[in-house]
Chain A
Amino acid sequence: MLQTGNKAPDFTLYATPYEEISLYDFQGKRVVLVFYPADWSPVCGDQLMLYNEITDVFDKMNTQVIGISVDSKWCHASYREQRNLGFPLLADFEPKGSIARMYGVYNEQEGECERALFVLDEKSIIQWSFLSEPDKNPGVEGILNALEKLEPVS
């Protein structure tokens, strides 16, 4: 798993069936990268729903939340619509899990991403990371604490 102090490597993935985004598109903002095992599974739902509920809190902290799993762009599109999710879900689909591998959070046995969080500063430097148990919702207090330790938003 990539450690605090490293620069988060850039990548480009599908965010919707027709649109790709790159991590470094968000430089100038803080980013919370949320690797999670799968769309539709109950724990992910609770975790993502919680982040979705407080997008205004993240906005005030100049922070963008980005979810990543190995599900396809069509699966993500359907899931986002059904859960009314306001942030992008990226499809680490082909080659499967390659970005999760690059970040050291791919679970070979399950063929899914681990449940892992990275908080990046405005220059994509990893400032905090957390590996959760797959079936445990890590909540949001660790993320908020990490964001508050960064330089205040000017």
Chain B
Amino acid sequence: MSLTPPVSSIDHLWGNKNALIELVEYGDFQCPYCGRAYPIIKRLKVEMNDSVKFIFRNFPISKIHPQAKAAAIAAEAAALQNKFWEMHDLIFEHQKRLTHEAIVEYAHMAGLDLNRFNEDIQHENLLRKVEGDFMSGLRSGVNATPTFFINGSRYEGSWEGNYLSEYLLNISQNAQRI
């Protein structure tokens, strides 16, 4: 199963854009499994440093996670102020409380201009971006959250514990040997 469409400039990219390893997550801000994956990915980003770039795409499953879409839109609004990752982290760190009031608090903590934030979250193009991510996930074979893609192919193994970081370290070491 391959990533459709591939990563482009509309995606949120963390790290070295020329990195050998491209790790894409389809995630839902209200999903407890994504919440569990969050510190694992965060640690992995530190461990792998320059050899990995990380991309987050939205896959909010609204019928079971009614606040997930609004949280995704909030992160997109933060991106307009170049603070996507700050907001992404704050939301995952507080994912048990995602009311509108709470989201505005996190926006404040992220250092966003709140007037602009409150205006931006109303914009339909942010909703469309989130829905576009969701549709691309359906096309790419995402069937649960989180789903990861490594260099364009769906990762079928476990992401818990050290499995994912060991898998990526292996790829990076093999590539360096060549």
Chain A residues within 8 Å of B, Cβ to Cβ: 46-47, 49-50, 52-54, 83-84, 86, 137-141, 144
With A54-B138, A144-B138 known as contacts, the answer to whether A138 contacts B63 (CB < 8 A) is no
* Interface bits B121-165 vs A (CB < 8 Å: 1, else 0): 000000000000000001111111000000000000000000000
Selected from B62, B63, B64, B143, the residue in CB contact (under 8 A) with A139 is B143
* Interface bits B82-93 vs A (CB < 8 Å: 1, else 0): 000000000000
* Interface bits B26-70 vs A (CB < 8 Å: 1, else 0): 000000000000000000000000000000000001111000000
- Whether B143 and A84, one on each chain, are in contact in the complex, defined by CB atoms closer than 8 angstroms, is no
Q: How far is the CA of A52 from the CA of B144 in the complex (A)?
A: 13
Extra contacts, 6 of them, besides A46-B143, A139-B141, A140-B143 (Cβ < 8 A), are A52-B63, A54-B138, A83-B64, A141-B138, A141-B140, A144-B139
Chain B residue, CB-CB nearest to A140: B138
Q: Report whether over half of chain A's contact residues are helix, strand or loop; otherwise say mixed.
A: helix
- B62 proximity list for chain A (CB < 8 A): 53
With A54-B138, A140-B138 known as contacts, the answer to whether A47 contacts B63 (CB < 8 A) is no
Selected from A54, A83, A86, A138, the residue in CB contact (under 8 A) with B143 is A138
Chain B residues within 8 Å of A, Cβ to Cβ: 1, 61-64, 138-144
Q: How far is the CA of A30 from the CA of B109 in the complex (A)?
A: 49
- B64 proximity list for chain A (CB < 8 A): 49, 83-84
- Whether A49 and B140, one on each chain, are in contact in the complex, defined by CB atoms closer than 8 angstroms, is no
- B138 proximity list for chain A (CB < 8 A): 50, 54, 139-141, 144
Chain A residue, CB-CB nearest to B154: A139
- A138 proximity list for chain B (CB < 8 A): 143
Selected from A46, A54, A83, the residue in CB contact (under 8 A) with B144 is A46
Chain B residue, CB-CB nearest to A52: B63
Which of A49, A50, A83, A86 lies at the interface centre, i.e. has the most chain B CB atoms within 10 A of its CB? A50
9 contacts between A and B (CB under 8 A): A47-B143, A50-B61, A50-B143, A54-B138, A84-B63, A139-B138, A139-B143, A141-B139, A144-B139
Q: Smallest CB–CB gap between A137 and chain B, Å? A: 4
Q: How far is the CA of A84 from the CA of B66 in the complex (A)?
A: 12
Q: How far is the CA of A88 from the CA of B118 in the complex (A)?
A: 39
Q: Smallest CB–CB gap between A119 and chain B, Å? A: 15
- Whether A53 and B143, one on each chain, are in contact in the complex, defined by CB atoms closer than 8 angstroms, is no
Which of B138, B141, B142 lies at the interface centre, i.e. has the most chain A CB atoms within 10 A of its CB? B138
- Whether B139 and A137, one on each chain, are in contact in the complex, defined by CB atoms closer than 8 angstroms, is no
Q: Smallest CB–CB gap between A61 and chain B, Å? A: 13
Q: Smallest CB–CB gap between B141 and chain A, Å? A: 5
